[in-house]
Structure 1
């Protein structure tokens, strides 16, 4: 290895470990969620092997729970696929946010990054991206976060499958509440302006108002309403600031004359 390559290897390793470390608090909240999925698998009609395969191949917590519910209700496969697809549409918003930072990467990087794009990894990576404007090892940070979350999810699924056989009543322990707390912890640190707070309030209100919509479509309606409101307020804020700046320039020119 040449002397020019070694520093980059160190930077990659440090970025990888930093990504895994940044995701640990989110992993803690996801642990009971993964265990709960494993315990629910067999009572819902999914075999232990099927549960592990779903976590390995699908790797989408909320969608996996929805799939279990539909499976236990006897829903057809096309209905399950379509419903989980709608729920996962939020990842398009995540991807659109990250594209400017990863479009230079080759396909061999972008494919696994797309597979590993979860709520937790997006939260950890977005925070890091905001702090590091020019870092050539950012995709290694992403990889560290993704693999930490992925290995935890698969392990917790396997643990849940085993515990589900030992303690059949684990589904009544309220473990799913931990994920709600985790999502709140992911969102709150980013609420630093009026448009952000307004977007959260509007999307939350719309999520409650549209909770009865079929196939969880209310989630997308709430997300779109929140985004539209926040973006409109942000653009209005920028326009007001620009007008005030122009007004200040005009007054300065008048005073100079």
Structure 2
């Protein structure tokens, strides 16, 4: 690995480490729940290796425990992960120049944490030519952590059956807050976050977590509107001068 790709790779790992801290309890809890939900230890590990989608894996466990049919499980997890379309749409203009093998890897490795880390990288630096190495570092760090924590959870689940009552899941909420706060630097960002948060609460009753999609779209619409209005105001002031 050459010097620039290597530095980008390790920068991606470093940027993701604080987010990994919040994901550790989440992965461990998944491992502890697996066997009690009817999924074998090997099945839990395979899900973390090949599916690699935290919230969808938890939902799949709940549906599996309830005896839901396989098509229902697949459809529900698909709907929950629709938010990744928003992430992908943001990244497409910055990754379109990459070979297919890179874009396939990036599609598989796209998570909330990696998207947050990579988006911050794009905001800080205008050059995108080596940013895919940053993405790779972030992805592998989070991916390795998720698989390891799933294994730890499976082991600890046999030793401490009541681990799910310890309240470890609070760390994930803190992680998401930490991912959002650095971006709250202007009015459009604040507007998007506040509207999305309010809509997420107001639409919590919707099935299959569809409220998250509605909240995201509303937040995007408000943020974009405020951004366009801000740009128009700046343009008007420049023309007046």
> TM-score normalized by structure 1?
0.91
Is 132-141 or 62-71 further displaced after alignment? 132-141
SS at match of 2:126: coil
Counterpart of 1:128?
121
**Rg: which structure is higher?**
1
| 1:22 Cα deviation from its structure 2 partner | 1.0
Matched, 1:56 2:56: no
Counterpart of 1:93?
86
Taking the aligned partners of 2:127 and 2:220, their CA distance within structure 1 comes to 27
> TM-score normalized by structure 2?
0.97
Taking the aligned partners of 2:231 and 2:222, their CA distance within structure 1 comes to 14
Counterpart of 1:9?
2
Is 135-144 or 216-225 further displaced after alignment? 135-144
Counterpart of 1:198?
191
Query: Structure 1, residues 145-183: CA drift from partner, whole Å, max 9, x if none?
Result: 100100000000010001000000000001111000000
| 1:247 Cα deviation from its structure 2 partner | 2.3
Taking the aligned partners of 1:166 and 1:118, their CA distance within structure 2 comes to 30
Candidates 149, 160, 169, aligned match of 2:162 = 169
Decide whether the 8 Å contact of 2:28 with 2:150 is kept in 1: yes
Taking the aligned partners of 1:31 and 1:12, their CA distance within structure 2 comes to 27
| 1:233 Cα deviation from its structure 2 partner | 1.1
Matched, 1:215 2:208: yes
Taking the aligned partners of 2:199 and 2:128, their CA distance within structure 1 comes to 38
Taking the aligned partners of 1:122 and 1:209, their CA distance within structure 2 comes to 26
| 1:45 Cα deviation from its structure 2 partner | 1.1
| 1:73 Cα deviation from its structure 2 partner | 1.5
- Structure 1, unmatched stretches of 5+, are 1-7, 249-257
| 1:135 Cα deviation from its structure 2 partner | 4.6
Taking the aligned partners of 2:136 and 2:218, their CA distance within structure 1 comes to 32
- Count of paired positions: 241
Candidates 12, 18, 23, aligned match of 1:25 = 18
Taking the aligned partners of 2:136 and 2:59, their CA distance within structure 1 comes to 27
Candidates 178, 183, 201, aligned match of 2:176 = 183
Taking the aligned partners of 1:200 and 1:161, their CA distance within structure 2 comes to 36
1:28-107 equivalent positions in 2, closer than 5 A: 28-107=21-100
Matched, 1:148 2:128: no
Is 185-194 or 129-138 further displaced after alignment? 129-138
Decide whether the 8 Å contact of 2:20 with 2:145 is kept in 1: yes
Matched, 1:231 2:224: yes
Taking the aligned partners of 1:119 and 1:237, their CA distance within structure 2 comes to 28
SS at match of 2:147: helix
Decide whether the 8 Å contact of 2:13 with 2:138 is kept in 1: yes
Decide whether the 8 Å contact of 2:27 with 2:153 is kept in 1: yes
